[in-house]
Structure 1
Amino acid sequence: MTKSKELFKAIQGKNLLKLDIQYFADKTLFELKQNMTTVGQQLQKTENDLAAAAIDTNKSTEDIQALQKSRDDLKMRFDVIKEQHDAVEAEQKAKFQADQDKNPVLKTDDPKAKVTAAKAELIRATMKNQAISDEARAALGDGNSTGGEKILPSTMTTELLHEPFVKNPLRQVSTFTQVTNLEVPKITFTLDDDSFIDDTQTAKEMKAEGDVVQFGRNKFKVFVPLSETILAATDTNLVQTVDQGLQSGLAAKEKKVAFAGTPATGEETLSFYGVGINEVTGTTKYKAIKAAIADLHEDYRDNARIVMRYVDYMDIIESLANGSSTLYNAQPEQVLGKPVEFSDSAVDPIVGDFQYSHFNYDPNLIYDRDKDVKTGVELFVLTAWFDHKIKLKSAFRIAKKSTA
Structure 2
Amino acid sequence: MKTLFELKQDMATIGNQIKKTNDDITQKAADPKTSMDELNQLNQTKGDLQQRFEIIKNQHDQLEAEQKASLAKGNFTDSSDPKQKVIDAKAELIRKTMAKEAVPTDVYQALGDDSTGGGKFLPKTVANDIISDPVVKNQLRGLSTITSIANLEIPKVTFTLDDDDFIADKETAKELKATGDTVSFTRNKFKVFTGISETILLGTNTNLVTTVEANLQSGVATKERKVAFATAPKSGEEHMSFYDTTVVNIKKIEAADMYKAIKGAIADLHEDYRENAKIVMRYADYLEIVETLANGNATLYTAQPEQILGKPVIFIDAAVTPVIGDFSYSHFNYDINALYEQDKDVKTGINLFVVTAWFDHRIKLASAFRLAAVSK
- Given that residues 266 and 274 in structure 2 are in contact (C-alpha distance below 8 angstroms), is that contact kept between their aligned partners in structure 1? yes
Which secondary structure does the structure 2 equivalent of 1:198 belong to? coil
Once residues 122 and 158 of structure 1 are traced to their aligned partners in structure 2, the CA distance between those partners, rounded to angstroms, is 15
Kept after mapping to 2: 8 A contact 1:165/1:171: no
CA distance in 1, matches of 2:134, 2:324: 21
C-alpha contact (below 8 Å) 2:143/2:327 kept by paired residues: yes
Instruction: Spell out, residue by residue over 1:63-118, the C-alpha distance to the aligned partner (whole angstroms, 9 max, x if none).
Output: xxxxxxxxxxxxxxxxxxxxxxxxxxxxxxxxxxx979x98884433322222222
Alignment partners' CA distance in 1, 2:371 and 2:83? 44
- Contact conserved, 1:103 with 1:117, CA < 8 A, in 2? no
State whether residues 168 and 255 of structure 1, in contact with CA within 8 Å, keep that contact through their aligned partners in structure 2: yes
* TM-score, structure 2 as length reference: 0.76
Cα distance in 2 for residues equivalent to 1:380 and 1:104 = 19
Aligned-residue sequence identity (percent) comes to 61
Paired amino acid for 1:224: T
CA offset at residue 374 of structure 1? 2.8
Deviation, structure 1 residue 200: 0.7
Contact 1:105 1:113 in 2 (8 A): no
Instruction: Find the residue that maps to 2:276 and give its secondary structure.
Output: coil
**Aligned-partner Cα distance in 2 for 1:253–1:383:** 12
Aligned partners of 2:112 and 2:125 also within 8 Å? yes
| Secondary structure in structure 2 of the residue aligned to 1:347 | coil
Q: C-alpha deviations, 1:124-173, integer Å up to 9, x for none? A: 111001233444333211222332x1111111111222336661011110
TM superposition shift of 1:375: 2.7
Report what 2:53 is aligned to.
none
Measure the CA separation in 1 of the matches of 2:116 and 2:152.
28
Contact 1:356-1:391 at 8 Å conserved across structures = yes
On the 8 A contact 1:164/1:171 being kept in 2, the answer is no
C-alpha contact (below 8 Å) 2:134/2:217 kept by paired residues: no
User: Are residue 241 (structure 1) and residue 211 (structure 2) matched?
Assistant: yes
Would the alpha carbon gap of residues 358 and 294 (structure 1) be closer, same or farther in structure 2, given more than 3 Å must change?
A: same
- Residue 271 of structure 2 aligns to which amino acid in structure 1? E
Are 1:360 and 1:386, in contact at CA under 8 Å, matched by a contact in 2?
yes
Mapping of residues 300-311 of structure 1, within 5 Å: 300-311=273-284
Amino acid at match of 1:123: I
CA spacing shift, 1:117–1:325, aligned 2, 3 Å? farther
Query: 1 CA distance for matches of 2:370 and 2:169?
Result: 14
Q: Residue 317 in 1 paired to residue 290 in 2?
A: yes
| Higher deviation after alignment, 233-242 or 266-275 | 233-242
Counterpart residue identity of residue 101, structure 2: Q
Report the counterpart of residue 139 of structure 1 in structure 2.
110
Shift of 1:234: 2.0
Contact 2:345 2:351 in 1 (8 A): yes
User: Aligned pair 1:263/2:233, yes or no?
Assistant: yes
Larger Rg: 1
Residue aligning to 1:215: 185
Instruction: Say which SS state the counterpart of residue 326 (structure 1) adopts.
Output: helix
Question: Cα RMSD over matched residues?
Answer: 2.0
2: CA distance, partners of 1:359 / 1:231:
32
1:138-287 paired onto structure 2 within 5 Å:
138-147=109-118, 149-163=119-133, 167-274=137-244, 275-287=248-260
Letter paired with 2:257: T
Any conservation in 1 of the 2:134–2:220 contact (CA below 8 Å)? no
- Please state if 1:109 is matched with 2:80: yes
| Conserved 8 A contact 2:230-2:241 | yes
* Structure 2: stretches of 5+ with no match in the other structure: 1-68
Q: Which amino acid aligns with 1:245?
A: N
Structure 2: distance between partners of 1:104 and 1:329: 56
Q: Is the 8 A contact 2:294 2:300 kept in 1?
A: yes
Match of 1:124, SS state, is helix
Q: Distance in 2 between matches of 1:251 and 1:258?
A: 11
Q: Partner residue of 2:24?
A: none
- C-alpha contact 1:367 1:381 (8 A) present in aligned 2: yes
Which shifted more, 363-372 or 138-147? Answer: 138-147
Query: 2:17 maps to which residue?
Result: none
Quick one: which of 99, 104, 124 aligns to 1:128? Answer: 99
Q: Secondary structure at the match of 2:337?
A: coil
**What is the alpha-carbon distance in structure 1 between the residues aligned to residue 210 and residue 290 of structure 2?**
38
Residue in 1 that maps onto 2:48: none
TM-score by length of 1: 0.71
User: Partners in 2 of 1:126 and 1:105 — Cα distance?
Assistant: 14
Which residue of 272, 293, 297 maps to 1:299?
A: 272
Equivalent position amino acid for 2:109 in 1: A
The residue type equivalent to 2:175 in the other structure is: E
